[in-house]
Amino acid sequence: MQHEPQLTAELFQPVADNSMETEKIVRPSISYWADVWRRLKMNKLAMVGLFLIVGLVVMAIIGPMISGYTYHGIDFKAKNLRWSAEHWFGTDTSGRDLFTRAWYGARISLFIGVMAALIDFVIGVIYGGISGFKGGRVDNIMMRIAEVLYGVPYLLMVILLMVVMGQGLWTIIIAMTLTGWIPMARLVRGQVLQLKEQEYVQAALALGASTGWILRKHIIPNTMGPILVNITLTVPTAIFAEATLSFLGLGVPAPQASWGTMANDALVSLLVGNTYQLFIPGFLISLAMFAFNVFGDGLRDALDPRMRK
Amino acid sequence: MKKSISVLLSLSLAGLLALTGCSGDTGSNTAQNNNGGQTATNGGSTDSSSSGPKILRVNNSSEPGSLHPAKAQGTHESWPLRHLFVGLTEVVEGNKIEPAMAEKWDISPDGKTYTFHLRDGIKWSNGDPVTAADFEFAWKYALNPNTASDYAYQLYYIEGAEAYNTSKEKDPAKLKALEDKVGVKALDDKTLQVKLTNPTAYFLELAGFYTYFPVNKKVQEQNPNWANDASTFVSNGPFKLTEWKHKEGLKMVKNENYFDKDKIKIDEIDWAMIEDENTAWQMYRSGDLDLAYPLPTDVIGQLKSSNSPELHIDPEYATYFYRFNTTKKPFNNVKVRKALAMAIDRQAIVDNVTQAGQKPAYGLVALGSVDENGNEFHQTDYFKEDVAQAKQLLAEGLKEEGLTSMPKFKILYNTLDAHKKIAEAIQSMWRDNLGIECELENAEFQVKIDREHKLDYDISRAGWIGDFMDPMTFMDMFTSLSTQNDTGWKNKEYDALVEKAKQSNDQKVRMQAMRDAEKLFMDEMPVMPIYFYTKPYAVKPYVKGVYALATEYPTLKYADIQK
Amino acid sequence: MLRFTLKRLGWALLTLWMVITLTFVLMHSIPGNPFAKEGKMPPGVFENLMRYYHLDEPLYVQYGLYLKSLLQFDFGPSIKSSTLTVNDYIREGFPVSLHLGLQALIIGVTLGIIFGVFAALYHNRYPDYLSMVLAIIGLSVPNFILATVFINYVAVEWGLLPPAQWGTWKHTILPSLALAAMPMAFTARLMRSSMLEVLSQDYVKTAKAKGIAKSMVILKHTIRNAILPIVTVLGVIATNLVTGSFVIEHIFGIPGMGEMFVKGIFNRDYPVILGSTVFYSAVLIFLTFVIDVLYTWIDPRIKVTGGE
C-alpha cells in the first residue's frame, strides 16, 4: 500500500533568484536623526516648546523693528503707560516702549543663552572627553581642578572679569561659562568612561586607531544625545543666571535691556501698582524657560532608544 | 526612605555646625542661638493701645559695625549712636545749635580756644557722673592711631590732633608725649578746654558730631569691649541700649538718667536691619515699621503725586554731580565740559527720575548753609542750560583739541537703580541735544572708587552730603591735595582761596573767599552739578515730632506716638 | 573602607587648600579695599586702619598668618564689624541658613519626587504634562521675582504672613517656599526621567509579569532605584540651600550666611570672604562624602572600596 511519492520534474525547477528581494527594506529607511524627529513630533509638549522657541527667536529678530520705537528712547511724558495702540506692552518708568525693550531683551537674553551653551559645549566636550578618555591620574587631576573652580566664590571671579574686560555682553557670556562648562564636562566624561569600555572601541584600539580618530568617530557621535539635551537645558539656565547677576547689579550695561535687567528694574513696580512692568519680562523668562525645558525633555525622550514603544 | 535621608543630612550638618561652634571663642554676643523661639516683631500688629509703651519702629538698613562712638563708619552707626549719646552741643530742628552736655561756653577772641562748662548733675545710664575727663578721654581715644578710627579726621581741627593720629611711633612713651600735646584738656570735672589749629567757625556744630561724643572712661578702662554687648553698654543720651540681636535688630529704651528726659515722649525705639529698600517699604505698608527711609524712588513719586500726608520731604545738604576726568581728551577742554553741562534738562530729571522735589543745581555748594548775614549762601546760578550755546561751545572746544567729532565716551556710575536712570536720561539728552553718543558703565562701588582715584574714567557720577552746615565741606573736596578730588583738576588760586577761608575768623572774609572759590570752580567746571538733594521719608500719621537735619538721618528722639 | 575614607580626606584637604589659595589671590587682585568710601579718607587714617588689620603686611605674610589661624579654626575678625568675628558670623548665620535651607529642601524634594513619580507613571498623558508644566514653572520664575511677589501679595496685600525678618515659624514660610521652587522643579524632572528609565528595566517587567500588584512594583522596585540619581545631585542642591541664598536672605532680611558672603565680597571684607569660602567648600566636600556613603547604602551594587 505504499505509494511512491510522485516526483515530478516540476518540483525540481530552480527557484527564481530573489535573494535580493528578501534583503529589500520594504518600509522607507529612516536615519537615526529622522527617527528622533519622528518620535519628537509625537511628543506634543516638546512640539509646543519648539514652536515657542521659534516664535521667540522670530520676535527677537523682528520685534524691535516693528514698533517704531527704540529700546533707549526716553520720553518722560509717556512714562508708566498701560498697553495701548501706541505702546503695545505699555511703557516703563522712563517712558520707553516696553514692546521694543522686551524683544530687544529677548535678543540679548537668547544670545547670552545660546552663546553660553555653545561655549560650554565646546569646552565641556574637549575637557570631559580628554579627562574621561585618558582616565587615571589625568582624569583625577582634571576633575579636581573643576572641583576647585566650583569652590572658589563665583562672584569674585565675575567681579574680576568685569574689571579686566569692562562691562559688556561678552563679559556676561564669559561669566556664564566660567563654571558653566563643568556640568557638561562631567557629563561627557561619564559618557566617555562608559563608552571606552565598549567592544567596538576596544576593537578600534586594538587595530591601532589613534586617540583623535576614536574620539571623533566613535565616542563623540555616541555621546551627542545627552550632550544635545544638555545644551537645550543650558540655554535657559544661562538666561536665568544672567537675571540673577542683574539682581546683583552685574548685568548688561544700561540702557541695553535683557529680560533679567528688565525684571530687576521692575521689582519696584509691584509696590506702586505698575505690575505689568514686572509681568512682561517675568512672563517672557518663564516662557523661554518653559519652552527650552520641555523641548529638552522631549529631545531626551526621543533620543533614548529605550523609550521606543 | 526620603525621611531617613533628610534626617541623616540634618544630623551630619548638625555635626558640622557643632564643629564650628566649638572653634569660635569670642564670648561677646547676646544669646540668640535658638532662632525658633524668639520673636522679632509681632507679625504686623499695629494696634498697641494708647496705654501701652510707646514704641517707634524704624529700619537701620544694616547691622552697625560698632556702637562705640570712636569706631563708627557711617550712617548705619551714626543714626543709632545719635539716639544713644549726646555731645557737648546738639543741633536741633532749623539747624539751631543748643547746649547739651555743656551748659555754656566761652570762645577766645582769636576764635581758637573754646572753654566748655558742663551742666550739673549729668549722668551716664549706669549712674556715673559725666565729667569733662570723659570727653578728653573719648577724643584722645579716637585719635589714638592704634584705635584706627575711620572718623578720627573729624577731630583734626584740634591742635596736635592730626600729628598724634598720623604718628607711626611705636614707642609708647613717645606716643604718650604726642597724645599730651593734643589740645583738649579737662581743667576740672566740669570744664573742658579745647584748642584749635585754626579758628573754625562751625566748631560748635562739630562739637555735637558723633566722633565728639563722650565715652565713660571708667567703663572703657574696665572693659574695652563694653560697646559690643547690650548688657554692658553705657551711654549718656536720651536712650540706652537694651538688646542687640546681630543682623536682626536693636532695641533701645528711654534713659532715665538723661538730663533732658522730660522732652523724651517715646519709651522705646526698635531698629530693624533690612537691607532691601523695597522690603523695608513693604514692612512699612504692612505696619511693621513706623518710619521708612530711604524710600525707593518710584514709591516717592507715587506718594508725591497722591499728596500723601505720610511723605515728608526735608532738606538735605548735598549735591549730586558728575566728575569730568580733566586729564583726558576732550574733557581737558573747559568748553567741552561746559557744553555737556549746559545741554541737559535738570528739571526733567528731578521731576521724572528722582521725584522728591530736588532742585536743579547750577553751583557746587548745596542749598541750606548761611552766609555772614544769615542769608542763604547759594545766591547765584553760575551757568544756564542753553542747547544752542552748548552746541557752539562743543564745536569750539573740539576744534581746539584738534578733533572733528566727539569721541565715544562712557559715564561711570556705581550700581544703583536711581543712578542708572539718571545716567540713561542724561545719555538720551546729550544724544538729542548735541548729537553725541556715550555709553553707560556701571561698576561695583569699590571698583568705581578705585577707578576714580586712578583717573581711569571719562565721566563719573558722584554725590556729596555735607559733614557740617558750612560751604567748606564742599569747597575743600577739590583742593589740589584733597583725596576726594579725583578729577585731575588742580588750581593754585582755588587752593589759596580755600586756605584763606580756613584761616580766617572773620565770617565776611571767609564767605567772600568761598564765594570767589566757587565762582572760579564753576568757571573751570571740573564737575557738572546736577541737582541738590532732598530727604524724602515716610512716617505713619500717628507718629508726631520727627524731623530731619540737613546733614543727618531723621531725628527720632523728640517723636511722639498718638494713636 | 578606612583606606577609601582617608584617601578621600586627603583629596578633600588638598582641594580645600587650593580653593583657599585661589580665593586669596583673587580677592586681592580685584580693586578696592575694606575702607573705601565716597567721603573723606585722609591717608593717615587709612594707614592706621590698614595697620590695625595687618593689611599693610606683604601678601605672603598675610597668607601665612591666615593659614596659621585657620589651623586653629580661627577665621579672624570681620573688618566691617568690630563686634563680630567671622566665627561669630558663621555660628549665628549658619543655623539660620541651615534651618531655612533644610525646610526648603524637604519641601522641594518631597514635592519633586511626588510630581516626578506621578509624571512618569502617566508618561505622555495629561497628568505627565500637568506635573511637568508645574515643575517647570517652579524652575522658570527667578526667585527674586517669586520672593517679591510673595511679599507683596501674601504678606502685604492679604496680610497672612509677616513680610520679612526672621523669628517665628511664620517668618520662615515665604522664604522657604520661594527657595523650594527650584529644587522641587529640579527633582521632579530628574525623578521623572529616572523613573522612566527604571520602568523599562527587565526586573520591573518581570515583576509585573509575575503579577505583583502595581503599587508594590512601584514602591519596591521602581522608586527605590529611581531615587539614586537624586541622591547624587542632592549634595550640590543641599550645599547651595544650607549655605544660604543671597537673593532670598537679602529680600527677606534674614540674618543668614548668604547675605554675609555676598556683602563680604562687595565690602572687600577679606576675612569674611575667606571664612565663608572655606566653610562653604568644607560643607560641599563633606556633603559629597556623605552622599557617597548614602549611595552605597541605597545601592548595594556599588562598593566604595574602588576609590576614585
**B175 pLDDT more than 90:** yes
Span of A107-111, B71-75, B90-94 with lowest mean pLDDT:
B71-75
The interface residues of chain C toward chain B in range 83-112, judged by CB-CB distance below 8 A, are 83-85, 87-88, 90-96, 98-99, 102, 105-106, 109-110
Residue of C nearest to B32 (CA): C92
**3-state class of B513 per DSSP?**
helix
CATH code given to domain A41-61+95-307: 1.10.3720.10
* Chain A residues contacting B via beta carbons under 8 Å: 72-74, 76, 79, 93-94, 159, 162-163, 166-167, 249-250, 253-255, 265, 267-269, 271-274
- Per-residue pLDDT, C295: 67
Q: What sign has the CA pseudo-torsion B324, B329, B333, B337?
A: negative
**B25 pLDDT more than 60:** no
Å from A118 to nearest chain C CA? 21
* Residue in B90, B28, B25, B26 with CA at minimum distance from that of residue B233: B28
Q: What proportion of chain B, given as a percentage, has pLDDT over 70?
A: 91
Contact at CB, B352 and A94, closer than 8 angstroms = yes
Q: What proportion of chain B, given as a percentage, has pLDDT over 90?
A: 77
- Per-residue pLDDT, B379: 87
Residue of C nearest to A139 (CA): C308
Of A267, A289, A306, the CB nearest to C144: A267
**3-state class of B193 per DSSP?**
strand
Output A23 or A72, whichever has higher pLDDT: A72
Output A301 or B146, whichever has higher pLDDT: B146
Contact at CB, B298 and A73, closer than 8 angstroms = no
Asked if B177 reaches chain C (Cβ–Cβ under 8 Å), the answer is no
The interface residues of chain C toward chain B in range 248-267, judged by CB-CB distance below 8 A, are 250-253, 255, 259-260, 263, 266-267
Contact at CB, C40 and B153, closer than 8 angstroms = yes
Cβ within 8 Å of residue C173, ≥6 positions away: C161
Give the Cα-Cα-Cα angle B384, B457, B339 (nearest 5 degrees).
Answer: 20
Of B296, B428, B442, the CB nearest to A167: B442
**3-state class of B81 per DSSP?**
helix
**A63 pLDDT more than 50:** yes
Per-residue pLDDT tens over the stretch B343-360: 999 999 999 999 999 999
Q: What proportion of chain A, given as a percentage, has pLDDT over 90?
A: 18
Output B209 or A297, whichever has higher pLDDT: B209
Cell digits for C67? 593659614
Q: What is the mean pLDDT of residues B514-531?
A: 96
| Residues of B whose CB is below 8 A from A164 | none
**What is the C-alpha separation between A118 and A136, in angstroms, rounded?**
28
Å from A240 to nearest chain C CA? 7
Q: What is the mean pLDDT of residues B82-90?
A: 95
Instruction: Break chain C into its structural domains and give their ranges.
Output: 91-268
Per-residue pLDDT tens over the stretch A71-110: 888 888 888 888 888 888 989 888 899 999 999 999 999 9
CA distances, C253 to each of B270, C244, C247 (Å): 15, 12, 10
Per-residue pLDDT tens over the stretch B371-422: 999 899 988 899 999 999 999 999 999 999 999 999 999 999 998 888 999 9
Contact at CB, C250 and B246, closer than 8 angstroms = no
Q: What is the mean pLDDT of residues B277-301?
A: 93
How many other β-carbons are positioned within 10 Å of the β-carbon of residue C16? Answer: 19
Residue of B nearest to A253 (CA): B441
Full DSSP string of B149-169:
-TTGGGGTTBTTHHHHHT---
User: Which residues lie across from B537 on neighbouring strands?
Assistant: B312
Mutation site, C33, C115, C144, C197, interface A, largest A CB count within 10 A: C144
Three-state SS letters, A228-239: HHHHHHHHHHHH
**What is the C-alpha separation between B278 and B286, in angstroms, rounded?**
12
Å from A5 to nearest chain C CA? 49
- Per-residue pLDDT, B36: 34
- Per-residue pLDDT, B416: 86
**What is the C-alpha separation between A263 and B85, in angstroms, rounded?**
43
- Please report, as a single letter, which amino acid is at residue B374: G
- Per-residue pLDDT, C9: 80
Q: What sign has the CA pseudo-torsion B146, B148, B149, B154?
A: positive
- pLDDT confidence band for A21 (50 / 70 / 90): low
**B488 pLDDT more than 90:** yes
Segment B300-304 long-range contacts (CB within 8 Å, at least 24 positions apart): B300/B354, B300/B355, B300/B356, B300/B536, B301/A272, B301/B355, B302/A272, B302/A273, B303/B536, B303/B538, B304/B355, B304/B356, B304/B357, B304/B536
Instruction: Give the residue range(s) of CATH 3.10.105.10 domains in chain B.
Output: 316-535
What is B84-231's CATH superfamily? Dipeptide-binding Protein; Domain 1 (3.90.76.10)
User: Which range, B93-97, B492-496, C111-115, C139-143, has the best average confidence (pLDDT)?
Assistant: B492-496
The pTM score is: 0.86
Mutation site, A164, A246, A271, A275, interface B, largest B CB count within 10 A: A271
Query: Chain A to chain C, count of Cβ pairs less than 8 Å apart?
Result: 115
**What is the C-alpha separation between C262 and A32, in angstroms, rounded?**
48
Q: Which helix (H) or strand (E) holds B539?
A: strand B527-539
With a threshold of 0.90, tell me whether the complex ipTM lies above it.
no
Asked if C200 reaches chain A (Cβ–Cβ under 8 Å), the answer is yes
- Burial letters B208-226, b for 16+ CB under 10 A, else e: bbbbbbbbbbbbbeeeeeb
Instruction: Give the residue range(s) of CATH 3.90.76.10 domains in chain B.
Output: 84-231
- Please report, as a single letter, which amino acid is at residue B49: S
| Residues of A whose CB is below 8 A from B296 | 268, 271
Report whether CATH 3.40.630.30 matches the domain B316-535. no
**Mean pLDDT of successive 10-residue stretches along chain C, which has 308 residues:** 76 87 91 82 88 90 91 89 89 90 91 86 80 77 88 90 87 90 84 80 76 72 77 74 82 89 89 89 78 67 45
Asked if C39 reaches chain B (Cβ–Cβ under 8 Å), the answer is yes
Side-chain half-sphere of C106: how many Cα atoms within 13 Å? 15
| Residues of B whose CB is below 8 A from C152 | 282
Å from A227 to nearest chain B CA? 30
User: Which residues lie across from A138 on neighbouring strands?
Assistant: none
Å from B323 to nearest chain C CA? 13
- Per-residue pLDDT, A35: 80
Tell me the CATH architecture of domain C91-268: Orthogonal Bundle (1.10)
CA distances, A109 to each of A105, A234, B17, B440, C179 (Å): 6, 13, 40, 19, 23
Asked if C280 reaches chain A (Cβ–Cβ under 8 Å), the answer is yes
Segment B237-243 long-range contacts (CB within 8 Å, at least 24 positions apart): B237/B82, B237/B83, B237/B84, B237/B85, B237/B86, B237/B557, B238/B83, B238/B86, B238/B264, B238/B557, B239/B83, B239/B84, B239/B264, B239/B268, B239/B269, B239/B557, B240/B84, B240/B125, B241/B67, B241/B84, B243/B30
**What is the C-alpha separation between B422 and B427, in angstroms, rounded?**
9
Do the Cβ atoms of B203 and B522 come closer than 8 Å?
no
Q: Which helix (H) or strand (E) holds B50?
A: none
- Per-residue pLDDT, B44: 39
- Per-residue pLDDT, A223: 78
- Per-residue pLDDT, B480: 92
Asked if C164 reaches chain B (Cβ–Cβ under 8 Å), the answer is yes
